[in-house]
A and B are shown apart, each in its own frame.
Chain A
Amino acid sequence: MIVRHERSGGYAGITVKADVDSDTLSAKQANELKELVEKAFPSDQLQKKKTMPDQFNYEFSIEDAGKTQTYQVNDQTITDEIRALSKWLIATAQKKSR
């Protein structure tokens, strides 16, 4: 599974990218990622609301078994589960790039 994540906007307008390929992770981490993704997007039913000023936009593209799904949320519509996935991806991608 390849998860591509981008967080753009916010007061600073700085885009943060975090791409993680589970093939490059330890078995434990790959499992964590799978669970986080399943919890974050149990269905395609995401709320649709406009991004309010200076809120972050979060984009996820999940490539698994030949299929790619994309999801978009903002600080108005994000859930705790999606937030957890975003944080995990950004932290993991930062660690790997060091």
Chain B
Amino acid sequence: MKKTFCSYHCIIPPDILRNVAQKGSEKQQEWAYKAIEESAQIRGQREVMALLGVASVAVPAGTKRRTIYDAGNKTFLPGKLVRGEGDAKSKDRAVNEAYDGAGKTYDFFLKIYERNSIDDRGMRLDSTVHYDVEYNNAFWNGNQMVYGDGDGQIFNGFTGCLDVIAHELTHGVTQFEAGLVYRNQPGALNESMSDVFGSLVKQYAKKQKADKADWLIGKGLLAKGIKGVALRSMKDPGTAYNDPLIGKDPQPAHMKDFVKTTRDNGGVHINSGIPNKAFYEVAIRIGGNAWEKAGRIWYITLRDRLRTSSQFQDCANLTFAVAKELYGATSTEAKAVQDGWNVVGIKVK
């Protein structure tokens, strides 16, 4: 069966969608809202939605709406609805993990950064579990999260890790804000933002200070027998795994080791090690809860400053500028940002 996420939604004229979004029943509004989102997938969704006058369907902050679907080991999305907001626990562990993880991520962004869901307009959080057979992956398809069960040989189920769930949701945040293109350095920044907030959601849930956190991404995801502690280490990029079957963690921790490749959209999961390490260094220098200051600097940079084609150097300069604005030009926080980027070989300007 062919997957057509967007085809029938995209052909509907915007003025009809706008009418439905404003005057339809709750269910129709939901549909129209989603269709508008889908038809403006690449960049500037908020401007498009503002243009269409969809403001009236924005959901008040604090209204968490989660929907979990089951693909039944097939690949048609979203699949069968199995748990909605407020519904009783499922017997299926993956369903509950996806539901709870999405909730923790939503709560984190609302409580810490006053953000109302992925789009800051109360967007419903849709997740599909049991995608495909033994699918060794999880992804964000532009509208929703999708989780595989893993093959049990290399990977366990992808809903088992809170940082994986928060990573996928953060891809949604990035899509609605900076819109970083998913290739080369902007793509690696996109990936790094997902790891940063993925890790922060986990640290917040565990009430861990920066120096007590493990800074690992995907801990517990590697199946028994695979030699490795996680998929990535923000503290020591390149050291997360080293195994005969899956190879060695290829992440660099410094610009001198930047990897040029056409694979993986230009190494987006590889070179993300560099900005990941920079964030870790900043958070450690500032100390305390990483989400409070380092996280806020990164969040505001992602929300207001980064653009679709921003490079590592831009991100360094912008986080430095934001730190100076928030905490003062001669603050320890601004100095920490400068020093943190220095460690990975980037001088802020």
Q: Do A and B bind each other?
A: yes
Using a CB–CB cutoff of 8 Å, the interface residues on chain A facing chain B are: 6, 8-15, 50-57, 75-76, 78-80, 83
Label chain A's interface by main secondary structure: loop
Given A54-B140, A56-B137, A11:B182 Cβ within 8 A: no
A14 to B141, Cβ gap below 8 A? no
For B141, list chain A residues within 8 Å (CB): 52, 55, 75-76
Q: Once bound together, how far apart are the Cα atoms of A78 and B158, in whole Å?
A: 21
Chain B residues near A56: list those with CB within 8 A.
137
Cα distance A76–B158 in the bound complex, in angstroms? 19
Which among A6, A10, A50, A76 is the interface contact of B137 at CB below 8 angstroms? Answer: A10
Check A53 against B194 for contact (C-beta < 8 Å).
yes
Digitize B1-15: 1 where CB-to-A-CB distance is under 8 Å, 0 elsewhere. Answer: 111010000000000
Inter-subunit contact A11/B5 (CB<8 Å): no
**15 pairs from A and B in contact (CB 8 Å cutoff):** A6-B263, A9-B264, A11-B269, A12-B137, A12-B221, A12-B231, A12-B269, A13-B231, A13-B264, A13-B270, A50-B182, A51-B265, A52-B142, A57-B263, A78-B3
Q: Say if the beta carbon of B208 comes within 8 Å of chain A.
A: no
Is the pair B182, A52 in contact by a Cβ cutoff of 8 Å? yes
Which residues from chain B contact A10 at a C-beta distance below 8 Å? 136-137, 139, 269
Q: Whose C-beta in chain B lies nearest to the C-beta of A9?
A: B264
Stretch from B80-88, B163-171, B275-283, B335-343 contacting the other chain: B163-171
For the A-B complex, the count of residue pairs with Cβ-Cβ distances under 8 Å equals: 84
Contact yes or no, A51 B182, CB < 8 A:
yes
B246 on the A face (CB < 8 A): yes
CB pair B265 A54 closer than 8 Å: no
Q: Please tell me if the beta carbons of A13 and B269 are within 8 angstroms of each other in the complex.
A: yes
**A11 x B264 contact (CB < 8 A):** no
Residues of A within 8 A of B137 (CB): 10-12, 54-56, 75
B75 at the interface (CB under 8 A from A): yes
- Are B247 and A52 in contact, CB atoms less than 8 angstroms apart? no
Residues of chain A lying within 8 A (CB to CB) of residue B268: 9, 13
B29 within 8 A of A: no
Q: B190 touching A53 by the CB < 8 A rule? A: yes
Residue of B nearest to A53 (CB): B171
B101 an interface residue at 8 Å Cβ cutoff? no
CB of B140 within 8 A of CB of A9, answer no
- Chain A residue with minimal CB distance to B246? A14
The answer to whether B136 and A12 have CB atoms under 8 Å apart is yes
Residues of B within 8 A of A52 (CB): 139-142, 171, 182
Instruction: State the Cβ distance, A30 to closest chain B Cβ, in Å.
Output: 25
Contacts A52-B182, A56-B137 given: A11-B164 contact, CB under 8 Å? Answer: yes
Indicate if the CB atoms of B264 and A54 lie closer than 8 Å. no
